[in-house]
Amino acid sequence: MAVVLLLALIAPVVAINVQPVIVDLHSAGRRASAVISLQNTFPDAVPIELTAHPIRIVNGELQEFEEEEAEDLLIFPAQATVASGSTQAFRVQWVGEPDLKESKHFYVTAAQLPVALAEGQNAVQVLHRFKILVSVGAAGATSTLEVTEARIDVDANGKPRPVLTVRNDGTTYGYVSQRRMTIVQRDASGAEIFRQTFEPDEIGQRMGMGLVPSGQSRNLAVNVELPKAEGSLSIELALAGSN
């Protein structure tokens, strides 16, 4: 989730740390706000700016709309200068509709701002940008994740991988990585040639969180090599801990 913009070919070994990078908010109550902590491990103070933009599903993929401001998401402070070795807390607060009928999603970008160099100074500037995924749903709402399509794709290295389309007809967002996933492949004769079940932690490692907003579908690739590029594929999701 971190994007580093290098303004020189040499990067220092120190960096900026941001936690957490995934934030879940409720649209009302105590969980309508959260704190993002930014730690500066550089030897000098760094100016930081936080901005927020909405995310929507476009052709089955998450897309950030950087030209739009997130009017319902308040960030305080929006800018701060963080001293060396210090940690700055930024509060993210939902200020929109308290009774959401569908989930809302944003990228909050924490960007290190450039500083003016003294005249004639020859120094390296490395600007860090971190994207934090912020999702908002109504308290008590539930997600309903269903695999509507499973297919075999070939990655850039020619390896067959499973790709699934997940539909969420629930009233809030859900994470595929919080489910248990079973992948089954059969050859042309119908014989089973691959079967494996993955627990939530392993799913997260192989495909990320797998966020699916309410009322939307997402296409998600799974980093699992299948025996063949031909045949049929089925993928089932179950609640973690269920049989």
Q: What angle do CA 153, 157, 160 make, to 5 degrees?
A: 30
CA 189 to chain centre: 39
Is the whole model's pTM more than 0.95, yes or no? no
Q: Quick: pLDDT tens for 14-54.
A: 478 999 999 999 999 999 999 999 999 988 899 999 999 99
| Residue ranges per structural domain of the chain | 2-137, 145-239
For the purposes of burial, counting CB atoms within 10 Å of the CB of 71, is it exposed (0-12), middle (13-18) or buried (19 or more)? Answer: exposed
Q: Quick: pLDDT tens for 179-232.
A: 999 999 999 999 999 999 999 999 999 999 999 999 999 999 999 999 999 999
Residues 6+ apart with CB under 8 A from 80: 47, 48, 88, 90
Q: How far apart are CA 142 and CA 204, in angstroms?
A: 20
For 145-239, CATH number?
2.60.40
Question: Out of 1.10.3720.10, 2.60.40.10, 3.30.1490.440, 1.20.120.350, which CATH number does the structure's domain 2-137 have?
Answer: 2.60.40.10
